């Protein structure tokens, strides 16, 4: 049985990006990126909305080998993530897109939590869901097995909040760690209420 994973980097006040979609402050260090890669190592399918697709599609072009410094080419952690990304199947949820510029990907017009829950349960691999807007659908249906919040030591005041409103769920804390750059990782697991 796989896990449905929601991993996101936010400001301390809970925003994934500011009102203009800017998240420069959230760029991970090599250490944080390597940790994210470890967390997503077993991901076989990536679910995302259109905005995240536009941000992430560049990963199809990033080489999986050939490391140089972070300033003049992909770093080791970027190579690693490119491997995870390129090997995974991608599902892009969009009502408007007709073509995708990435390989190994399909478009879905609507998100059905029951279908995803079954796919995850039947899979050996994990599923990663991204973008607060799409993730909200899965959170409301309480089908997310693992939450990973990476908190950047900054307050930005407004923007795209990482969680939806009107969801009341109790979770279990499974990891807390701190990185050299002051980022904090909080990991929670869905509680089995049945």
Partner 1 sequence: MWNVISLDGYFQGKKAWDLDFHQTVWGKELEDYSIEQLETADMLVFGRNTYEGMATYWATEEGKVSEYMNKVQKIVCSTTLKAADWNNSLVVKDALAEIPKLKQAGDGNMFVFGSGNLSASLMKAGLFDEYRFCIAPVFLGNGKRLFGEDLPYQKLDLLKKRPLKTGGVILIYAPVSK
Query: Which chain residues interact with partner 1 by CB under 8 A?
Result: 12-14, 139, 147, 149, 151, 153-158, 161, 163, 165-173, 176, 178, 182, 184, 186, 188
The nearest distance, CB 6 to partner 1, in angstroms, is 12
Nearer to partner 1, 12 or 58 (CB): 12
Residue with tokens 């560049």: 58
Q: Are 156 and 15 in contact (CB under 8 A)?
A: yes
Nearer to partner 1, 109 or 165 (CB): 165
The nearest distance, CB 183 to partner 1, in angstroms, is 8
Nearer to partner 1, 115 or 158 (CB): 158
Nearer to partner 1, 83 or 189 (CB): 189
The nearest distance, CB 127 to partner 1, in angstroms, is 20
DSSP secondary structure string, 91-118?
EEE-SS----SSSSEEEESS--HHHHHH
Neighbour-count burial of 166, counting CB atoms closer than 10 A to its CB (0-12 exposed, 13-18 middle, 19+ buried):
exposed
Nearer to partner 1, 74 or 131 (CB): 131
The nearest distance, CB 186 to partner 1, in angstroms, is 6
Q: State the angle between helix axes of 132-140 and 113-122 in degrees (0 to 180), rounded to the nearest 10.
A: 80
> Taking the CA of residue 178 as centre, how many other CA atoms within 13 Å lie in the half-sphere pointing to its CB?
3
**CA distance readout (Å), 154 to 25, 32, 183, 185:** 8, 16, 10, 14
The nearest distance, CB 148 to partner 1, in angstroms, is 12
């Amino acid at each position: 049985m796989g896990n449905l994973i929601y991993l996101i980097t936010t400001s301390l006040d809970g925003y994934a990006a500011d009102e203009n979609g800017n998240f420069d402050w959230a760029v991970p260090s090599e250490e944080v990126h390597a940790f994210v890669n470890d967390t997503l190592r077993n991901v076989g399918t990536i679910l995302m909305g259109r905005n995240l697709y536009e941000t992430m599609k560049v990963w199809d072009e990033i080489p999986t080998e050939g490391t140089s410094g972070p300033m003049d080419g992909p770093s080791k952690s970027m190579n690693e993530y490119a491997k995870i990304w390129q090997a995974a199947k991608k599902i892009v949820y969009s009502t408007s897109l007709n073509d995708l510029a990435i390989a190994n990907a399909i478009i879905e017009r609507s998100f059905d939590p029951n279908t995803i829950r079954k796919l995850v349960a039947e899979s050996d691999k994990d599923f990663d869901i991204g973008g607060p807007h799409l993730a909200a659908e899965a959170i409301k249906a309480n089908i997310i097995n693992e939450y990973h919040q990476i908190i950047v030591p900054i307050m930005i005041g407004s923007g795209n909040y990482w969680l939806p409103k009107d969801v009341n769920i109790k979770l279990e804390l499974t990891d807390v760690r701190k990185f050299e750059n002051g980022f904090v990782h909080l990991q929670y697991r869905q509680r089995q209420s049945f």
